[in-house]
Structure 1
C-alpha cells in the first residue's frame, strides 16, 4: 500500500472514530438527560405525593379540631347556660363556692327549660322536676353491689337497672338530653357533682339532700359491677369517662369518711381512667382530671 492509500485509510479511520465518538457522546448525553428528566419527574412526583399527604393530614387535623371545638364548651356558652362567665373552679384543696354552684345549677335548669325539644314536652316541674323525679326513683331502688354473679335474677336486675327503675319514657328523655347537650355535659356534670357531693345540698325543689351513702351505691355500681360496667360500655366514651371519674371521687370520699362498706379498691380504676383521660379528645378540663387522678394515685400507692 502506497503512502497515499495509508494516509487515506488513516483519515478514514480517524473520521470514523470521531464520528463514532460524537454519536456515542450525543447518545450518552441524551440518555443522561433522559435519566435526569426521569429522576426529576420521579422526585417531583414523590414531592407532590408528600405534599398531597400533608394536605390530607392537615385537612383531617382541621376537621378534628373543629369537631373538638364544637364539642368543647366555648366561653360564650357559660353566661347563657350557667349564668357566669366561667365555672371558676377552686383549687382541689379548697371548698366549693356553694352559693355560686347553686346559681349555676338554677341557670342550667332554666337553660334546659328554654330548649325547644324540652319546652314542647310540658314536663311537670321542668328539667329540675325531671331530674328530681329520676333521683327519687333511683335512690328508692338502688342497684346490687354484692354477690351480683351469685344469682342470675340479681344479675339481670343489675343489667337492666335503669330501664327497670326509670321506665322507657324517662330513659329515652334522659338520652335525648344527653345527646342534645353533649357540648355542655362536662361542666354540667361538674356542677351537679359539686351540688350533691361537695356541697351536700338537695336538688332544687327537694327538702333533703341525697344521702352520700346512696350516691356511693351508684359509684360502686358503675365501677365494680358487671351491670354498671356493661351499661357504661354502651355509652359514648366521653360520658363513660366522666361517670367513672366522678365515681372514683365519690369512693375516695367514702374512704375518707370511713364508709366504703363494699371495700372497693380504687387503684386499678385510677390507672385505667388516667390512660382513658389522656387519650380522650374534646375535654375542657383534661389537665384538671389528670392532676386529680395523679394525686389519687399517689394517695393509694
Structure 2
C-alpha cells in the first residue's frame, strides 16, 4: 500500500472514530438534557400546582368575605330578636324590591334603645363608670357637638383654626367620650355596619310625631359635620385614623346627608357633592366584607345619574 492510500485509510478511520465519539457524546448530552428538562418541568409543575391551590384557597376566602354573615346571636344581643334578615347578604333582587329602611319608626327607636342597653352591659364601657349610662352620655355629647360646630370654610386661614379643627372632637367631647367611641368602633367592628345604618335611619327618618328619644341632630347640624368630614383637613385627618370599613361607611353617609342638604337647599357652603360621590363609589366597590354593598352601589349610581346628567 502506498503512502497516499495509508493516509486516506487513516483519515477514514479518524473520521469514523470521530463520528462514533460525536454520536456517543450527542446521545449522552441529549439524555442529560432531557433529564434536566424533565426535572425542571417537574419543579415548575409542582410550583404551578401549589399556585393553583393557593388561588383556589384565595378564591374561597374572597367568596367568604364578599358574602359576609353577621352572627345572628350578636345582632339579637344588640338589637333584639328581629334581626335575622341581616345575618345574610341580601341579593340584588331583594335590595331593589325591598325598602331601604323599615317603615316603622318606633322599631328604629326600639333598636336604638336596645343598642345603648347592650353597651351598658359591656365591661369595656362599665370601666368608664358613667353613672347614668351610655344613652345619657350620648345626649350630652350630641348637645356639645350641636352647640359647637366645626369650621368648614376658612380652616386654612390661620394655624389656630386648623389646629382647632383637627382636634375638634377631642376638644368638644372630652377625653373619656372620645376614648369610649374608639373602643366601641373597635369592639363592635363585627356589627358596626348595621349599627351605623340604624343610626342613619334614626337621624333621617320622618318620625310622624312619635319620637320618644332625644338626641337626633337636625339636618343643618348633620350637614355641617358632613362638610367637615368630607371637605376639611381636620375631618379628613379624623377619617384617616379610622378603619377602612368605618372610613368608607362614614364617607358614604356624609354623601347622603349632603344630598339631603341639597334637596332642602341647605348647602350654605356650596360644597360640590360630585367628587365625593365618585370617591365613595370607588371606596364601596373596593371595600370587602360589606353586608349592604349592593344597596350602597345602587344608591350611589342614582346620585351619579342625578348630579351628572343635569
Q: TM-score, normalised by structure 1?
A: 0.83
Equivalent positions of 1:14-163 (< 5 A) are 26-58=24-56, 68=65, 73-83=70-80, 84=82, 85-87=84-86, 90-92=98-100, 96-163=103-170
* Long gaps (5+) in structure 1: none
C-alpha change, 1:133 and 1:204, in structure 2 (3 Å) is: farther
Task: Choose from 269, 276, 279 the match for 1:262.
Answer: 269
- CA contact under 8 A between 2:106 and 2:210: conserved in structure 1? no
- Post-superposition Cα deviations, 1:88-112, rounded to whole Å, max 9, x if no partner, equal 98424x7743122122222222322
The alignment partner of 1:45 has SS state of helix
Cα deviation, residue 174, structure 1:
0.9
Look up the SS of the partner of 1:183 in the other structure: coil
Structure 2, unaligned runs of 5 or more: none
1:72: Cα distance to partner?
5.8
CA–CA separation in structure 2 for the residues paired with 1:50 and 1:157: 56
Going from structure 1 to structure 2, the CA distance change for 1:13 and 1:233 (only over 3 Å counts) comes to: closer
TM-score normalised per structure 2: 0.80
Q: Is the 8 A contact 1:81 1:107 kept in 2?
A: yes
Distance apart, 1:165 and its partner CA: 0.3
Offset at residue 267 of structure 1 (A): 0.5
- Offset of residue 43 of structure 1: 0.7
Kindly tell me the number of residue pairs found equivalent between the two proteins.
Answer: 292
The answer to whether the 8 Å contact 1:248/1:269 transfers is yes
Report the Cα distance in structure 1 between the residues aligned to 2:114 and 2:180, rounded to whole angstroms. 20
- 1:190-243 CA distances to partner (integer Å, 9 max, x unpaired)? 00010111245899752x742221122111111122221222122222111111
Deviation at 1:123, TM superposition (A): 2.2
| 8 Å Cα contact 2:120/2:126 also seen in 1 | yes
Query: Higher RCO, 1 or 2 (CA under 8 Å, sep at least 6)?
Result: 2
Q: Looking at CA atoms only, which structure, 1 or 2, has the larger radius of gyration?
A: 1
Residues 102-129 of structure 1 show CA distances to partners (whole Å, capped at 9, x for unaligned) of: 2222222232222222234332332322
